[in-house]
Chain A
Amino acid sequence: MSEAIESVEDFRLRARAWIKASLGPIQPWDLSQHCESDEEEDRAVARDRALQRELFDAGFAGICFPREYGGQGLTPEHNRAFNEELVGHEYPSRFAVPTFSPCAAVLLEFGTPEQKARHIPAILKGEEVWVQMLSEPGGGSDVAGATTAAVRQGDDWILNGSKVWTSRAWWADWGMCLARTNWDVPKHQGLTVFLLPLHQPGIEIHRIERLSGESEACQEFFSDVRIPDSDRMGEIDAGWTVGTRWMYHERVGHNSPYVTMPVGLNRPKAKGPTTVSIARRAGRIDDPAAHELIGEARALGIVTHELQRRLAAAAASGKGNTDNSAIDRLFRGLASVRQATIAFELAGSSAAAWTEEDEDETGAQGMNFLMRQVSCIGGGTTEIARNVVSERVLGMPREPSGDKGVPFRDVPRGPARGQA
């Protein structure tokens, strides 16, 4: 290497100085990713794009991305140092997941030089927010059973079908889409990955209202969407090679070295409810039962953080099984569920109905509780994580499946009706 890499500590000091001078305090919507209205969301998106551009101009965007694509070419330790310094400050939260990881991470691994040159710098400059198009209405966990199909037509592909649970698709720019290109081979062997702009003829985007009232997630309907072959990523019918790495990067999620977002334990969050503030507002700050819950939440926070550190260290050493990321995914899902339950219990009956002041002060714990299971569903369910841990980490026998070695065309996709 012709150029010595800046030491992590030097980099940290430089980052600290720049962050302090350039970035304001963290905003509530950075933590919750939730805006009250579409107008507010539009403003938050514009601000995130501008912030990402600021990072790029200052030489702090894409710390682990290669320099030739506009990144900084540094190590995961540099990224971690930056993320630690970022605590308490605003940051482009809408770029973290899934734009940097899994999308940009997968692009780096499988994109052609042209694709990388086109998209990675654009992402790092805040010009492209990406979404991942994996789940379909017909099935969430069985990702390789995709039925959204692309058919070759000259130099193009024609895409038809539907994807679902795509967060932010209504305003994002590009999508990474897993589609079926061959029905005559077993399911894993007939998939191909495409890159496509979201806002174009033939793509209809519906927003899905969740029980909490927000409509972040979308469903896309594809009708004869034309995709040039140059926007195919990876070999034809080899999409599952991409898909397994894609799923890996998805499980790593916010812990990916490609993601810029605050991490660390010791500094209080700028805003957002804490268990202490919830207990205080509920008049329970002297209640020993509340103290047990506050202590449990704190312990769980520390344990979650240390588990991530342990798995990241194992992964960085090259000795860790890459499927260990499923341990983290499983643990985080269950820990979030428990944290939401603790907050709900601390809030007491004020979780049932609340004032705007309550919500500003301590959040809507009743609603958070209703939405609790999202942390065990989104980004791959905890059930799938349990399969991965037991089968690929512990080596236990795989679940029997009805589609192994069967041409996808012949795989049952619903109950055999009318035969009873």
Chain B
Amino acid sequence: MWHVLTSDQELLRDTTARFLGDRVPLSRQRKDLRNDPAGFDADYWKAGAELGWTMLLVGEEDGGGSVSGRGAVDLALIAYEFGRHAAPGPLLDCNVVAAALSGQAGDLQRGALGEIIGGAAIAASCLGAAPWQGPGEAAVTIRREGADVVIDGTVRPVESALQAGWFLVTGRSEGGMTQVLVPAGTAGIETRALKGMDVTRRFARVSFDGVRAPASALVGEFARADGSVARQIENAAVILAAESVGAMDIAFAMTVDWAFDRYTFGRALASYQALKHRFADMKSWLEASHAVADAAAEAVADRTELAVETASAARSYIGVQGPELAQECVQLHGGIGVTYEHDLHFFLRRVTLDSLLYGTPAEHRRLLAALQIAKENAA
């Protein structure tokens, strides 16, 4: 990243990098953590939370705080290191949910937020409605019934749902989106583990069958959550883009090294123009991905009017070129690139997985188009 970092930011980044290198090296992910139901140890996550991983988007009055005054930029530094280490843990949802709960007055919300920041509990976001969907396309509906709200529908994939203590459920209501915070053990919630592509990140399908929650569990107002959902998607975009860029950096560096070390027909791979040109293309994708990921973090941190577009541009571009770059790296490695023994697949998995959460590239493109059309209609 080209940001000029403050010494506090450098400390945060370097501490995280060292911690990840010690606790979740690929050698450990490859064997032990691969078969771990959660993909990570509870004390690993708690220790990470103590390093500051879960507090950066939360206001100081709620027990959070950034290191630079720009929480999204700080968090992007952490996410970048997660990408470089293909690290496990619910960094994405815990931060998205913590940010959503920041500023909420209810006891339930404040209690949950404290647990998430401290790493004592894990939160999962059940995004059952999204801005790129039409009203009829939402996976979850939330309606009022007396003093309660009732949740129906199924969301997939939900990260760490089987480990989570809290679900932030987003659904469509009449007139807009609603968000509700429910404890994972609430009656009517069924969670079923799914198979997934990442070595350490676990996903499940979460079904809500007439799940009842008191109005005090609402996060924001009933049917008025569209704006905060949009901001959560921006926050997620910052994390996903930075993490993807971290993973792309490692995959690319590995492959450049390989091109210098691997000889064929008496020459290094790096001497073939056909391959050099592919490396040049990849380098341009990588620099462009860095640029737009950094821009998204800054725009979201500073809440600029271009934040939503920059965030979606990052997801749309990196969501395509990240996996494309990783697949090129596989191709340039040849057969070794698709073995479990080699490290490359960790990064291929990570960028590919990241391209599919909180909106696919296609969904972000549609969102950008809707914004563009609205802008030109207004002009």
Given A292-B362, A295-B366, A306-B292, answer yes or no on A389-B280 (Cβ-Cβ < 8 Å).
Answer: yes
Tell whether B262 is near chain A: CB-to-CB under 8 Å: no
- The reply to whether B365 and A276 contact each other, CB–CB distance below 8 Å, is no
- The reply to whether B317 and A299 contact each other, CB–CB distance below 8 Å, is yes
Q: Which residue of B lies closest to A301 (CB)?
A: B313
Q: How far is the CB of A77 from chain B (nearest CB, A)?
A: 15
Residues of the A chain whose Cβ atoms lie less than 8 Å from the Cβ of B376: 268, 274, 276-277
Q: How far is the CB of B187 from chain A (nearest CB, A)?
A: 39
Best-surrounded residue of A299, A307, A389, A397 (most CB of chain B within 10 A): A299
- The reply to whether B268 and A397 contact each other, CB–CB distance below 8 Å, is yes
Tell whether B43 is near chain A: CB-to-CB under 8 Å: no
Q: Which residue of B lies closest to A291 (CB)?
A: B369
Given A310-B290, A397-B268, answer yes or no on A296-B280 (Cβ-Cβ < 8 Å).
Answer: no
> Of B260, B277, B291, B362, which is within 8 A of A307 by CB?
B291
Tell whether B340 is near chain A: CB-to-CB under 8 Å: no
Q: Mark A359-399, 1 if CB is under 8 A from B, else 0.
A: 00000000000000000000000010111111101101101
Whole-angstrom CA separation of A17 from B295 in the bound complex: 29
Q: Mark B66-84, 1 if CB is under 8 A from A, else 0.
A: 0000000000000000000
- The reply to whether A295 and B2 contact each other, CB–CB distance below 8 Å, is no
Tell whether A50 is near chain B: CB-to-CB under 8 Å: no
User: Which residues of B in the span 251-301 have a Cβ within 8 Å of any Cβ on A?
Assistant: 256, 259-260, 268, 270-271, 273, 276-277, 279-281, 283-284, 287-288, 290-292, 294-295
- The reply to whether B276 and A391 contact each other, CB–CB distance below 8 Å, is yes
Q: Mark A287-327, 1 if CB is under 8 A from B, else 0.
A: 01011111110111011101101110110010000001011
Residues of the B chain whose Cβ atoms lie less than 8 Å from the Cβ of A326: 280
- The reply to whether B368 and A295 contact each other, CB–CB distance below 8 Å, is yes
Tell whether B336 is near chain A: CB-to-CB under 8 Å: no
Whole-angstrom CA separation of A266 from B366 in the bound complex: 19
Q: Which residue of B lies closest to A276 (CB)?
A: B376
- The reply to whether B305 and A302 contact each other, CB–CB distance below 8 Å, is no
Residues of the A chain whose Cβ atoms lie less than 8 Å from the Cβ of B194: none
Tell whether B109 is near chain A: CB-to-CB under 8 Å: no
- The reply to whether B369 and A292 contact each other, CB–CB distance below 8 Å, is yes
- The reply to whether B313 and A299 contact each other, CB–CB distance below 8 Å, is yes
- The reply to whether A288 and B366 contact each other, CB–CB distance below 8 Å, is yes
Whole-angstrom CA separation of A316 from B369 in the bound complex: 34
Tell whether B309 is near chain A: CB-to-CB under 8 Å: yes
Whole-angstrom CA separation of A396 from B258 in the bound complex: 12
Interface residues on B, range: 35 or more
Q: Mark B100-128, 1 if CB is under 8 A from A, else 0.
A: 00000000000000000000000000000
Whole-angstrom CA separation of A160 from B297 in the bound complex: 56
- The reply to whether B280 and A302 contact each other, CB–CB distance below 8 Å, is no
Tell whether B230 is near chain A: CB-to-CB under 8 Å: no
- The reply to whether B276 and A306 contact each other, CB–CB distance below 8 Å, is no
User: Which residues of A in the span 330-375 have a Cβ within 8 Å of any Cβ on B?
Assistant: 330-331, 334
Per the CB 8 Å criterion, the residue count for chain A at the interface is 49
Residues of the A chain whose Cβ atoms lie less than 8 Å from the Cβ of B231: none
- The reply to whether B365 and A299 contact each other, CB–CB distance below 8 Å, is yes
Residues of the A chain whose Cβ atoms lie less than 8 Å from the Cβ of B281: 330, 334, 386
Tell whether A217 is near chain B: CB-to-CB under 8 Å: no
Tell whether A285 is near chain B: CB-to-CB under 8 Å: yes
> Of A295, A300, A330, which is within 8 A of B280 by CB?
A330
- The reply to whether B310 and A385 contact each other, CB–CB distance below 8 Å, is no
Tell whether A31 is near chain B: CB-to-CB under 8 Å: no
Q: How far is the CB of A36 from chain B (nearest CB, A)?
A: 27
Residues of the B chain whose Cβ atoms lie less than 8 Å from the Cβ of A309: 291, 295
- The reply to whether A389 and B284 contact each other, CB–CB distance below 8 Å, is yes
Tell whether A275 is near chain B: CB-to-CB under 8 Å: yes
Given A292-B369, A386-B276, answer yes or no on A313-B270 (Cβ-Cβ < 8 Å).
Answer: no
Tell whether A13 is near chain B: CB-to-CB under 8 Å: no
- The reply to whether B365 and A292 contact each other, CB–CB distance below 8 Å, is yes
> Of B283, B291, B314, B316, which is within 8 A of A389 by CB?
B283
Q: How far is the CB of B304 from chain A (nearest CB, A)?
A: 9
- The reply to whether B316 and A296 contact each other, CB–CB distance below 8 Å, is yes
Q: Mark B362-379, 1 if CB is under 8 A from A, else 0.
A: 101111111111011001
Whole-angstrom CA separation of A386 from B376 in the bound complex: 37
Residues of the A chain whose Cβ atoms lie less than 8 Å from the Cβ of B373: 276, 285, 291, 294
Q: How far is the CB of B309 from chain A (nearest CB, A)?
A: 6
Given A291-B365, A295-B372, A396-B271, answer yes or no on A303-B287 (Cβ-Cβ < 8 Å).
Answer: no
Q: How far is the CB of B298 from chain A (nearest CB, A)?
A: 10
> Of A291, A306, A388, A393, which is within 8 A of B295 by CB?
A306
Tell whether B306 is near chain A: CB-to-CB under 8 Å: yes
Q: How far is the CB of A163 from chain B (nearest CB, A)?
A: 28
Q: Mark B302-331, 1 if CB is under 8 A from A, else 0.
A: 000110011011101100000000000000
Q: How far is the CB of A53 from chain B (nearest CB, A)?
A: 33
Residues of the B chain whose Cβ atoms lie less than 8 Å from the Cβ of A327: 283-284, 287
- The reply to whether B292 and A314 contact each other, CB–CB distance below 8 Å, is no
Given A265-B306, A307-B291, A386-B276, answer yes or no on A291-B366 (Cβ-Cβ < 8 Å).
Answer: yes
Q: Which residue of A lies closest to B319 (CB)?
A: A299
- The reply to whether A298 and B309 contact each other, CB–CB distance below 8 Å, is yes
Given A295-B367, A310-B287, answer yes or no on A390-B292 (Cβ-Cβ < 8 Å).
Answer: no
Given A327-B287, A393-B283, answer yes or no on A266-B305 (Cβ-Cβ < 8 Å).
Answer: yes
Whole-angstrom CA separation of A311 from B295 in the bound complex: 13
> Of A295, A296, A310, which is within 8 A of B291 by CB?
A310
- The reply to whether B291 and A303 contact each other, CB–CB distance below 8 Å, is yes
User: Which residues of A in the span 273-287 have a Cβ within 8 Å of any Cβ on B?
Assistant: 274-277, 285
Residues of the A chain whose Cβ atoms lie less than 8 Å from the Cβ of B279: 389-390, 394, 396
- The reply to whether A296 and B276 contact each other, CB–CB distance below 8 Å, is no
Whole-angstrom CA separation of A299 from B367 in the bound complex: 11
- The reply to whether A313 and B271 contact each other, CB–CB distance below 8 Å, is no
Residues of the B chain whose Cβ atoms lie less than 8 Å from the Cβ of A291: 365-366, 369-370, 373
Given A307-B291, A386-B281, answer yes or no on A294-B317 (Cβ-Cβ < 8 Å).
Answer: no
Q: A274-B376, A302-B292 are in contact. List 15 more A-B contacts (CB 8 A).
A: A266-B306, A291-B366, A291-B369, A295-B316, A295-B368, A295-B369, A302-B309, A303-B292, A304-B288, A306-B292, A334-B281, A334-B284, A394-B256, A396-B260, A396-B279
Q: List 19 A-B contacts (CB under 8 A).
A: A294-B372, A298-B313, A299-B312, A299-B364, A302-B310, A303-B292, A303-B313, A303-B314, A303-B317, A306-B294, A306-B310, A307-B288, A307-B292, A310-B294, A327-B287, A330-B281, A386-B277, A390-B280, A391-B276
Residues of B within 8 A of A (CB): 2, 256, 259-260, 268, 270-271, 273, 276-277, 279-281, 283-284, 287-288, 290-292, 294-295, 305-306, 309-310, 312-314, 316-317, 362, 364-373, 375-376, 379
- 4 closest Cβ contacts across the A-B interface? A295-B365, A390-B276, A295-B368, A389-B280
